[in-house]
Chain A
Amino acid sequence: MDLTVRIGDVTVSNPVGVASGTFGYGSEYEQLIDLKSIGALFTKAVTWEPRPGNRIPRIIETTSGLLNSIGLANVGREGFAKEKYPFLSGLSCSTFVNVAGNTEDDYARTVEWLDEHAPLTGYELNVSCPNVKEGGLSIGGSPRMVEVVTRRVRAVTDKPVIVKLTPNVTDITEIARAAEAAGADALSAMNTLVGMVIDVDACRSVLPGKTGGLSGPAVLPVGVAIVYRVSRAVSIPVIGIGGIDGPDSALQYLLAGASALQIGTANFVDPTVTDRVLEGIRSFLSHHNLTAAGEIAGLLDR
């Protein structure tokens, strides 16, 4: 049974990854799961300079969902290299650093610096965070900006470059094609959906920044549809993200055309979800007499 996934020149051991922002820098979950069983770990976002993050409250539960406005709180590139890199570099799973920035310069200079001081498997460009005023969503919403940022990062590293797409756009396939044209090795789809919760008694928005990013089971059908469309618009691998909480939701993404997956919010609920998903994929392959995870997409609507 072949569970491996190719991302650029790299072979990832299995399709089950953990999503940026939900798994810290790995060490937080070391006591709870066998990190060797994960295909790929996507780190909490790293920015050029440290960021304190947004005002509180930062998270609120919604119906089957989680609305967050963390604001890319992180220790910056130097803190990452000093405090987080030693642990990550010792892991046997693939490790992708999620890189975020305010300007197109930020992404390329951060990747270039990390390539020299803290090289891991590759990078995931967070051009789609809904919770920062500059960069993030404003870059991720523009095909031209995504192309520029991706091309500049492509020029400074030989490692795999994955672009994480936002669903908060008119036509996500246009952004996907721009990233592919600029040399991205894969696409992650999707980041959180912009959402808002209002406390009716207080007549106030719950999050200080008014809006946040929605994740969790509530967004699953949106993510599956996006992966279905994006995987048909590009020829590079698409990594499905959004609401995966077990084998069924994971297999929906693989059937829709995802080559790999990232599990996010569900890690908070059940730290063993990655194991359950991987086992579910194995059972599905056996049941359908398939030999490779990559064959699952071919079963859809035959």
Chain B
Amino acid sequence: MEHFSTHVVHNAPICERYHVMKLGWPPRFAPPLPGQFLTIQPPPGTGALLRRPFAVSDYDPLLSQIEIVYERRGSVTRHLAACRTGERLDILAPLGRPFPEPTGNARPVLLAGGIGMGPMFFLATSLLTRNKNPVLILGARDSTLIPELPLFERIDIIIATDDGSRGLHGTSIDALHSFETDGNDMNTEYFACGPMPMLRALALHADQTARKCWVSIEQTMGCAVGACMGCVIPVHGGNGYARVCTEGPIFDSREIAWT
């Protein structure tokens, strides 16, 4: 875990509302892993108080850069969207537990819902590099929220939109069902990030099909380092709650007490 000031290397929209930002990552720091996140201190003038968490969406050791994909939504992300190359941001990273390695020779099936795509891009790239043959299922509300990225040329990708304006008409879970009924109902393991209803549906499906399933959970965070107990989610066992920032954000879907 490092607390440092770094500079914006690249910052540009990738589709309607979503942007990608690359930041300098000092080479002496341990590399971030897929599933981990960083927090950014709200810059002055945003009127915001708490640091904002963002999942790491890529890491380039050669250029010493990390990347986040973010949605322009509130005062902080609007400020980020206006950041120019060279501007400095206050970063705390890398935080949280990463995605685990796929078990044995299971084929990793990655599900991304909406802005949950960021960490799935990082995991996809990492699995591709290691010849793990991942499948990426990307679900969005409509075609304006689907970016065009070089990664998509290199990976088996299925796109689904709620309104059918791009790819399959339906959710990422619908896309998963159609992928599996197309003869891909084999030895697979799920990795996912997206809205809670999507993760809940995937966890249920993983239970019914006896597959392993890892989900990245989002929660409002206070400290992001395990001190404040603010970002918990209900889990089975222990005292009934786990901290998303330190015990997560990646959880085995069977640990979570879905409500």
B-contact bits for A23-50, CB 8 A (1 contact / 0 none): 1100011011000000000001000001
Tell me, in angstroms, the Cα distance from A216 to B2 when the chains sit together.
24
Given contacts A31-B1, A52-B239, A270-B90, contact A70 B49 (CB under 8 A): no
Pair B49/A64 contact, Cβ less than 8 Å: yes
Please report whether the interface of chain B is mostly helix, strand, loop or mixed according to DSSP: loop
For the complex, is A21 an interface residue (Cβ under 8 Å from B)?
A: yes
A52, A217, A265, A269 interface centre (most CB from chain B within 10 Å): A269
How many residues in A have their beta carbons less than 8 Å from beta carbons of B?
35
- Any chain B CB within 8 A of the CB of A57? yes
Q: How many B residues are at the interface, by size bracket?
A: 20 to 34
Instruction: Write the nearest CB–CB distance from A156 to chain B, whole angstroms.
Output: 28
CA distance A38 to B41 in the complex (A): 22
The answer on a CB contact under 8 Å between B1 and A32 is yes
Number of A-B contacts (CB under 8 A): 95
B144 at the interface (CB under 8 A from A): no
Interface residues of B in 213-246 (CB under 8 A from A): 219-234, 239-241
Within 8 Å by CB of B232, from A28, A56, A63, A271, lies A56
Asked whether, in the complex, the Cβ of B229 is within 8 Å of the Cβ of A269, the reply is no
A53 within 8 A of B: yes
Q: Which residue of B lies closest to A270 (CB)?
A: B41
Which residues of the partner chain B approach A52 to less than 8 Å between Cβ atoms? Answer: 239-241
> Is A60 interfacial (CB 8 A cutoff)?
yes
Q: A52-B239, A56-B234 are in contact. Are A63 and B229 (CB under 8 A)?
A: no
Cβ distance A25 to chain B, nearest Cβ, rounded Å: 8
Q: Is the CB of B90 within 8 A of A56?
A: no
Given A56-B233, A271-B3, CB of A217 within 8 Å of CB of B49: yes
Give B234's nearest chain A residue, CB to CB. A56
**Chain A interface residues toward B at CB < 8 A:** 21-24, 28-29, 31-32, 44, 50-53, 56-61, 63-66, 68, 70, 73, 216-217, 265, 267-272
